[in-house]
């Protein structure tokens, strides 16, 4: 037997084992995503069938941790989709300015590129001192990376271009110090970011927040799980709060579609109705 013959039942049983032993619940992630990642791991590790994989997951914690990395795609970048950040500056910042203090939640923050981008915008808008950014992920490995705020020097050309396209007018290199290999983000950006481990599938509502960004995360969930997580976001947002999703994500086909108005349809920015 190989992955081509792998049945839904076998995958379900593997995911059940992962959940029971390690508490990570991938049972409602999209089947196509799970299949792709498991197939990839089997090839890389020379595993022939699911039962062999199952036994490795149960008996080898470092393999299980590798599988967790595989299943939680962590690709990210600063000012990812610059047009989105441009719209955020134009359509969301004016609303945030009306609040005496601002709470922002980045759900599925990966290595923190998105949270640092937001800290830069809030600093430029003179709002950062009254802002708290909660940046959460269920993957401890990326969270530790995020907290350090260290990124490869090689990424800075692309990040600088993104920043400028998003409407940034400062010198982007002023936001970090660099050595020959890496850059480290300024302490002034880190100071109001709270990094926390939070699993969107199994953990509960976050504090009442004014803005939620959950971009390029729900795309990996099936529709039932998307609905569940959308309910979590709805319950976490204040009335009039803003929800930002990724370019391939949306509220259509979810139960809460009618509970939001569109601030920018193309950039997937929504406002919770009063
Ligand atoms: C593709 S990255 C997106 C990062 C960032 N939001 C962006 O758009 O650049 C997806 C992130 O979601 C996280 N993630 C996946 N499932 C999650 C869950 N159940 N709870 C919390 N985070 C999750 C992954 O660990 C990963 O860091």
Rounded to the nearest angstrom, the gap between the alpha carbon of residue 147 and the centroid of all alpha carbons in its chain is 15
Look at residue 2 in the predicted model and tell me its pLDDT. 45
Domain that holds residue 171: 82-272
pTM above 0.85, yes or no: yes
Order the strands of the 182-185 sheet from edge to edge.
Answer: 150-152, 182-185, 176-178
Ligand 1 atom closest to the CA of 77, numbered from 1? 9
Q: How many domains does the chain have?
A: 2
Look at residue 231 in the predicted model and tell me its pLDDT. 96
Residues 114, 226 within the same domain = yes
Residues 63, 138 within the same domain = no
Distance (angstroms) between ligand 1 centre and the Cα of 29 equals: 12
Is residue 135 within 8 Å of residue 115, measured between CB atoms?
Answer: yes
Residues 204, 237 within the same domain = yes
Ligand 1 atom closest to the CA of 110, numbered from 1? 27
Rounded to whole angstroms, the Cα distance separating 8 from 25 reads 16
- Per-residue confidence in pLDDT tens, the chain, 274 aa: 344 556 788 999 999 999 999 999 999 999 999 999 999 999 999 999 999 999 999 999 999 999 999 999 999 999 999 999 999 999 999 999 999 999 999 999 999 999 999 999 999 999 999 999 999 999 999 999 999 999 999 999 999 999 999 999 999 999 999 999 999 999 999 999 999 999 999 999 988 999 999 999 999 999 999 999 999 999 999 999 999 999 999 998 888 999 999 999 999 999 999 9
Helices 31-45 & 50-59 angle (0-180, nearest 10): 80
Give the containing element (helix H, strand E) for 105: strand 102-107
| Residue in 34, 111, 117, 137 to alter for ligand 1 test, most ligand atoms within 8 A of Cβ | 137
Ligand 1 site, CB within 6 A: 72-76, 80, 108-110, 114, 137-139, 142, 199-201, 215-217, 246
Does residue 76 belong to any structural domain of this protein? no
């Amino acid at each position: 037997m190989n992955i081509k013959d792998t049945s839904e039942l076998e995958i379900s049983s593997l995911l059940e084992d992962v959940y029971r032993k390690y508490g990570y619940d991938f049972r409602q992630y999209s089947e196509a995503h799970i299949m792709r990642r498991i197939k990839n791991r089997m090839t890389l590790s020379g595993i022939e069938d699911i039962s062999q994989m199952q036994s490795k997951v149960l008996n080898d914690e470092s393999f299980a941790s590798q599988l967790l990395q595989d299943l939680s795609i962590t690709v990210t970048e600063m000012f990812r989709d610059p047009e989105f950040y441009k719209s955020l500056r134009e359509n969301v910042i004016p609303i945030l300015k009306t609040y005496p203090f601002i709470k922002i939640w980045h759900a599925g923050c990966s290595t923190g590129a998105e949270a640092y981008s937001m800290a830069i915008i809030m600093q430029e808008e003179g709002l950062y001192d009254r802002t708290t950014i909660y940046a959460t992920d269920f993957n401890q490995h990326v969270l530790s990376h995020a907290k350090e705020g260290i990124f490869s020097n090689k990424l800075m050309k692309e990040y600088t271009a993104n920043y400028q396209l998003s409407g940034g007018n400062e010198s982007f290199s002023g936001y970090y110090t660099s050595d020959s290999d890496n850059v480290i983000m300024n302490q002034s950006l880190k100071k109001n970011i709270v990094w926390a481990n939070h699993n969107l599938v199994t953990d509960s509502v976050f504090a009442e927040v004014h803005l939620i960004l959950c971009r390029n995360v729900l795309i990996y969930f099936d529709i039932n799980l998307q609905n569940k997580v959308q309910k979590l976001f709805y319950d976490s947002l204040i009335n009039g709060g803003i929800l930002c999703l990724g370019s391939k994500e949306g509220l259509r086909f979810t139960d809460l579609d009618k509970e939001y108005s569109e601030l920018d349809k193309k950039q997937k920015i929504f406002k919770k109705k009063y």
